Amino acid sequence: MNVITNRVEMNQIVKNYKCNAKTIGFIPTMGFLHDGHLTLVKKAKLENDITIMSIFVNPTQFGPNEDFESYPRDFERDERLAEAAGVDYIFAPSVEEMYPNEMGNQLSVLKRTNVLCGKSREGHFDGVVTVLSKLFHIITPDKAYFGIKDAQQVAVVKGLVHDYFFPIEIVAVETVRELDGLAKSSRNVYLSDNERKEVPALYKSLLMAKSEIMNGEKAPEKIIAKVKEYITKNTSGIIDYIEIYSYPTLERLDNMNGKIIIAIAVKFSKARLIDNIILDV
């Protein structure tokens, strides 16, 4: 495995593989890898000749009061895990490499962002599509892999690729969970011991909602109320949102039909956790 920090060098390596008709699978990450990331690697390796992972904590997707400086980082650990998983190249640029000058142009996401995490994180998805556009141009992958735990991000990225004609297939991979159901996340390390015991209730609340829907409940507000009651009773977290939308369009529903997402975000003392399930109703 090789670690590349220069964008021109990375692009030239990819061009050489493309000249030899090799396919490129790409996993963009902010590091502090967990089993969810490594599951993306496994799928990418099955479907491509070369697997490239980026590790870059992108400052433009963090708000002024968010955790950019304290976001967990451990590159040596990430390097070991990526190599063991079979990654061929890590692209690990500096902030100066990715943003060498003040930006003279700006990408803004106009749809799918006024709900869920986008509602309370103004500008977040503008930063996401900005850095992904840069990475897509540098790495020119055939396929890019994302975890469906960040379902809103997947929807936004699919919109980006569609609107700007990126010749890339976006592959959404199912959420990887701990044995007790907690969705794996880099931010789980921020949970206290007591909070860690509580947080399996988040996924249980989603399974309860799924059961209610499968048993015939069609009113979104009733499902939301039951999920809220369950989380409130079983955790010390503060609910940020509990929402039900069409997916991937992320539009409001009067009745639950078609493909839908039930999504939650809950704030604990030092961690904000998100989770979701997607259903065909």
127 is known to lie in a ligand binding site: no
Pairing of strands 143-147, 24-29: parallel
Dihedrals φ, ψ of 121, to 5°? -125, 70
Give the CA dihedral 30, 36, 41, 47, nearest 10 degrees.
-130
Cis-peptide into 248, omega within 30 deg: yes
Handedness of CA 127, 188, 112, 121 (dihedral sign): negative
Chain center to CA of 216: 31
Q: Is 270 labeled as ligand-binding? A: no
Q: Is 124 annotated as a binding residue?
A: no
The set of catalytic residues is: 37
- Do the annotations mark residue 133 as ligand-binding? no
Residue 57, annotated as binding a ligand: no
Q: Is 159 annotated as a binding residue?
A: no
Residue 176 annotated as binding site: yes
- Tokens 């030899």 belong to residue: 20
CA dihedral 171, 172, 173, 177 (to 10 degrees): 160
Per the annotation, does 208 bind a ligand? no
Helices (H) and strands (E) in the chain, counts: 10, 9
Please tell me whether 187 is known to bind a ligand: yes
- Do residues 51 and 96 make contact, with C-beta atoms less than 8 angstroms apart? no
User: Is 150 flagged in the annotation as binding?
Assistant: yes
> Are the CB atoms for 241 and 224 separated by under 8 Å?
no
Q: 103 a known binding residue?
A: no
Judge whether 10 is annotated as a binding position. no
Nearest-angstrom CA–CA distance, 115 and 245: 9
How many Å apart are CA 49 and CA 54, to the nearest integer? 17
Is 121 annotated as belonging to a binding site? no
The dihedrals phi and psi of 268, each to the nearest 5 degrees, come to -110, -170
Residue 36, marked binder: yes
Determine if residue 35 is labeled as part of a ligand binding site: yes
Contacts of residue 76, defined as CB under 8 A and 6 or more positions apart, other chains included, come to none
Residue ranges of the annotated binding site for (R)-pantoate are 61, 153
Residue ranges of the annotated binding site for beta-alanine are 61
Residue ranges of the annotated binding site for ATP are 30-37, 147-150, 176, 184-187
Residue ranges of the annotated binding site are 30-37, 61, 147-150, 153, 176, 184-187
